[in-house]
Structure 1
Amino acid sequence: MIDRRRVLTLSLMAMAGCGAVFAAARLFQPAQGQRRGPPWAAPVTSSESFRVGGATIQVDFGDGTVDLPRPQVMRWVENAASSVATYYGRFPVARDRILIQPREDERGVQGTTWGGVGGFPAFSRMRLGEQTTADDLNDDWTMTHELVHTAFPSQEDDQHWIEEGLAVYVEPIARVQNGLLPAEKIWSDMVRDMPKGNPGSSDGGLDETHSWGRTYWGGAQFCLLADVTIREQTHNRKGLQDALRAIVAAGGTIDQEWPIGKAFAAGDAGTGTHVLEDMYDRMSRKPVTVDLDGIWKKLGVVRSGNGVRFDDHAPEAAIRIAITKTPKSGRILPVTGETHAAGE
């Protein structure tokens, strides 16, 4: 059983785009003195299911209520699953379980994902504040972020940065490819946030420095640089998306424990390059400052006021366009299933 967990707490301020996200990865352990079981054994009052990208997604609802109607909550889950399936060409695991736990007198979302627990390849517990609004869910990235975690094998703590970095990088791109976000929005966010991953004066490589910035945004920098480099080496025929699809096709999902080298070798085989393995050799043990300004310039991402504008005459504008373009496999939409009460 793989019970490593990934936690993202999204405060109300963060949902408005101006707050902080706090994260941790640790083995599940009840608080001292508590006898409660693991999250996947929590009570369920009702369930719904749908299919997307060859997978069955079971959505369970725990005790409590939220202000939003049930169909709106389900649409939030379906959009996230559809975005992940669209990016990967299928949903990464054949069966996924999502538990929605209402939180009284709260607003916001907190997500945690495990692999290989409770009889499912993947399980996500989503704590949903009772007062969460429709706009909050429309703007939310947490659900998609958590489902991206299903698409990479579980790593040791030193390599946790690739799990979180991939989720940070892939989540917004998947939502653009699924028609849920404009490309300008995510490139603007990357220009603003990617520098948070730069190494500090006392930092080591990605395997050695486990700060929030290096884990989440240092990992995201690795993914951005890998995506651009793969596309440069393949004349824009392949990208990180192809590498990640190859890892999933080889069986590299959250319910498996693979060394990072095995995952990167599978990804490189999918692009016919050695980009992931070479970059890992270069960045895992030594601090590397990625030339973000140089990347934005050649991709044609130009700061403009509080956002960005695109320069389609930039040398690698075609790479920028390809990264967020809906793949040839097309959008993969959900097919709704059944609703039933617990015990039925």
Structure 2
Amino acid sequence: MRPSRSMRIAAGLALAGAAVVGVAQAPAPDAERTLRAGDTELRVSVIGVDDARRRRQLQDWLAEVAHAQLTAFGRYPLHSARVRIEQVDREEARGDESPVPWGQTLRRGDAAVLLFVRDDASLVELRADWTAIHELSHLFHPYLGRDGRWLSEGLASYYQNVLRARAGLLSPERAWELLEAGFGRGRRESSGAPLIELSREHEGTMRVYWAGAAFWLQADVALRRDHASSLDAVLSQYSACCLRGTGEVAPAEFLSELDRLSGTTVFSANYARFVQSREFPSVDGVYRDLGITRRGDALVFGDEGRAAALRRAITAPFTATAGEGMKSAAGTPR
């Protein structure tokens, strides 16, 4: 879910309910599109938009975002999921100037990503926004409840930058800068409360989101550095064996399964260290592993050696084998 937005949650939930129920009037044919990758699909609906050109624009934008999601492991994490896009005007957005003022992933009956787009947002603005890929990234994990909020929002916050870099929507350097900016916001949360408490009580949003992102970054680096694996590879295995679009999984159970699939203790060991932490975790060690140093407020990226290769591998896109990749319902590669 997009954090710290001025649109009120109650208003957002009311809109979400309306989107799930749908409208009595049949949608225009071009308001519905199914994106396919192998045997997985995203069913994308544009709701209540009368302008055919705008419907196509929103569909094409979402297809580009969905392509970024495919850079994790070449297919969508769920066999089938829905995406619903609805427009809001500035008054409904309550002064929120972002192109996508609100988004949420729901798991009622099936998995659905809801995106509320400002009706005057340009395609350039939409392509620069992170909300859609953040919400799609929630489909990589099961619902983890309040105790796992920091894990779920952390994974989406990590992938919202990494996947956009892989898809060419950001430069790799900009992706790392955005992650560092998020870590900076997390460090400024100084309540001293345990991370698990902030997660349960929906407090300390910036530490919850960005400490979570640091958790997944550290796990990804450890898998790549020491185990010839990656976060992508382990989540791909989890998707194939265990991921359901609905239902709740306890955080410890989810991470234990990731350990089993990876043949490591990377996830559970980090969990024990993070969950009771009272301050933002240091990322200095993982930055050294990636050849990243701080110079004032800027990041400096090493160009040579294993560290640079490891860093570049994280933002390198998945390479589909013959016959794989994203296709529209008509079978046309996108």
Normalising to structure 2: TM-score of the pair?
Answer: 0.82
> For 1:4-83, what aligned pairs fall within 5 Å after superposition?
6=1, 8=2, 21=5, 39-43=19-23, 45-46=27-28, 47-53=31-37, 54-65=39-50, 69-83=54-68
Query: Partners in 2 of 1:204 and 1:301 — Cα distance?
Result: 29
SS class of match (2:175): helix
Change (3 A) 1:283 1:129: same
Query: Partners in 1 of 2:321 and 2:177 — Cα distance?
Result: 25
Hey, what does 2:73 align to over in structure 1? Answer: 88
Query: Partners in 1 of 2:150 and 2:21 — Cα distance?
Result: 28
Contact 1:197/1:214 (8 A) holds in 2: yes
Residue 100 of structure 1 aligns to which amino acid in structure 2?
Answer: I
| Amino-acid identity (%) | 25
Query: Partners in 1 of 2:88 and 2:315 — Cα distance?
Result: 35
> For 1:1-344, what aligned pairs fall within 5 Å after superposition?
6=1, 8=2, 21=5, 39-43=19-23, 45-46=27-28, 47-53=31-37, 54-65=39-50, 69-105=54-90, 108-109=99-100, 110-117=102-109, 121-198=110-187, 200-210=189-199, 211-234=204-227, 237-287=228-278, 289-303=280-294, 308-313=299-304, 316-329=307-320, 333-337=325-329
Q: Which moved more, 1:306-315 or 1:281-290?
A: 306-315
Contact 2:154/2:215 (8 A) holds in 1: yes
Change (3 A) 1:330 1:266: farther
Contact 1:246/1:266 (8 A) holds in 2: no
Query: Partners in 2 of 1:23 and 1:227 — Cα distance?
Result: 33
Residue 274 of structure 1 aligns to which amino acid in structure 2?
Answer: T
Change (3 A) 1:52 1:181: farther
The superposition leaves residues 59-111 of structure 1 with CA deviations (integer Å, 9 ceiling, x where unpaired) of: 22222457963322111111121221221331011222222211134662121
Contact 2:47/2:84 (8 A) holds in 1: yes
Gaps of at least 5 residues in structure 1 are 1-5, 10-19, 339-344
Query: Partners in 1 of 2:225 and 2:325 — Cα distance?
Result: 31
Query: Partners in 2 of 1:66 and 1:130 — Cα distance?
Result: 11
Residue 27 of structure 2 aligns to which amino acid in structure 1?
Answer: T
CA drift of 1:42 comes to: 2.7
CA drift of 1:159 comes to: 1.3
Query: Partners in 1 of 2:78 and 2:120 — Cα distance?
Result: 31
Query: Partners in 1 of 2:8 and 2:318 — Cα distance?
Result: 32
Query: Partners in 1 of 2:9 and 2:146 — Cα distance?
Result: 8
Query: Partners in 1 of 2:8 and 2:288 — Cα distance?
Result: 34
Contact 2:161/2:178 (8 A) holds in 1: no
Query: Partners in 1 of 2:7 and 2:103 — Cα distance?
Result: 10
Query: Partners in 2 of 1:187 and 1:89 — Cα distance?
Result: 23
Residue 273 of structure 1 aligns to which amino acid in structure 2?
Answer: T
Query: Partners in 1 of 2:308 and 2:242 — Cα distance?
Result: 33
Residue 232 of structure 1 aligns to which amino acid in structure 2?
Answer: R
- 1 or 2, which has the higher strand percentage? 1
The superposition leaves residues 114-169 of structure 1 with CA deviations (integer Å, 9 ceiling, x where unpaired) of: 0143xxx3112211111000111110211111111111110121211111100000
The superposition leaves residues 172-228 of structure 1 with CA deviations (integer Å, 9 ceiling, x where unpaired) of: 211222233210110111222213223855423321223111221111111112122
Q: Which moved more, 1:133-142 or 1:294-303?
A: 294-303
Change (3 A) 1:257 1:59: same
The superposition leaves residues 243-276 of structure 1 with CA deviations (integer Å, 9 ceiling, x where unpaired) of: 2222222222442311112211221223221010
Contact 2:36/2:329 (8 A) holds in 1: no
CA drift of 1:21 comes to: 4.8
Query: Partners in 2 of 1:220 and 1:143 — Cα distance?
Result: 17
Normalising to structure 1: TM-score of the pair?
Answer: 0.79
Change (3 A) 1:29 1:67: closer
Change (3 A) 1:271 1:167: same
- 1 or 2, which has the higher helix percentage? 2
SS class of match (1:69): helix
Gaps of at least 5 residues in structure 2 are none
Q: CA RMSD in A?
A: 3.0
